[in-house]
Amino acid sequence: MENPIPAGAQPSRGLVLVVEDERAIADVQRIYLSRAGFGVHVETTGEGGLEQVRSLRPVAVVLDVGLPGIDGIEVCQRMRARNDWTPIIFVTARDEEVDMLLGLELGADDYLTKPFSPRELVTRLKTVLRRSTGVPGGGVLRVGSVALDPETRTASVDGSPVELTAREFDVLAYLMASPGRVFSREQLLSAVWGQADYSAGRTVDVHIAQLRSKLGAGNPLRTLRGVGYSADGDGA
């Protein structure tokens, strides 16, 4: 519907698609994202959001869950079904954990619950869009049959490509960078999500479960009950 970047200005961080039917909230998101260097395009319906994802190819989508017509959950579901792994941050007024976890299971990369600070949105978005996982040397990571290339953000199992969300890639890369080392949920939240809300530990569990499902028999992830997770090829 709109792009607020003035004529002649070039956003340095890419275009973000905001799909939000509450005009006041969309305006605040647009202002803060623009100030952070992003181009912004706003849509107010799920149908419009899906159309613009195809045509604009944004670097990320900030997606309201409670949209009229096709809601945010279905928008995410349709994107992932057509193999579109554009990073998605859900924005929801629902505070039930089940709604947040459902979005993550469908392939969303993060979520924020209304009301939230627009600065937090910018911080979360930058985290999702990170192209560096802090892997020393930046080389290809290999644990068992799984290989990750931090430069191209690609993953494979026995040479066959595997589609991961940005957050799934970051979690797996962080674990594979230190094979055999066990990281607690709190450590993963701090390192990968950049947050200290340790009550959100269930979010880590959902991403680990999704990774195990996608990696299949090549899954290198291990759970040490009551302690945390590691990548060492055991896959237990």
Cis peptide before 150 (omega within 30 of 0): no
Q: Are 24 and 92 in the same domain?
A: yes
Q: Are 117 and 215 in the same domain?
A: no
- Among the listed residues 138, 97, 114, 125, the one whose alpha carbon sits nearest the alpha carbon of residue 20: 114
Of the candidate ranges 1-10, 56-65, 111-120, 145-154, the one whose mean pLDDT is the lowest = 1-10
DSSP letter at 217 equals: G
Q: State the residue range of the domain holding 114.
A: 15-128
Averaged pLDDT, 169-193: 86
In percent, how much of the chain has pLDDT > 70? 83
Averaged pLDDT, 156-165: 93
Averaged pLDDT, 220-235: 85
Instruction: Write the CATH number for 198.
Output: 1.10.10.10
In this structure, are residues 162 and 214 in contact, taking their beta carbons and an 8 Å threshold?
Answer: yes
d(C-alpha 175, C-alpha 170), whole Å: 9
State residue 45 phi and psi, 5-degree precision.
Answer: -130, 155
d(C-alpha 163, C-alpha 85), whole Å: 8
pTM > 0.85: yes or no? no
Name the percent of the chain in helix, strand, coil, to the closest 5.
Answer: 40, 20, 40
| Last residue of one domain, picked from the residues 128, 157, 184 | 128
Q: Which residue type occupies 170?
A: D
97-111: per-residue pLDDT in tens? 666 677 778 888 888
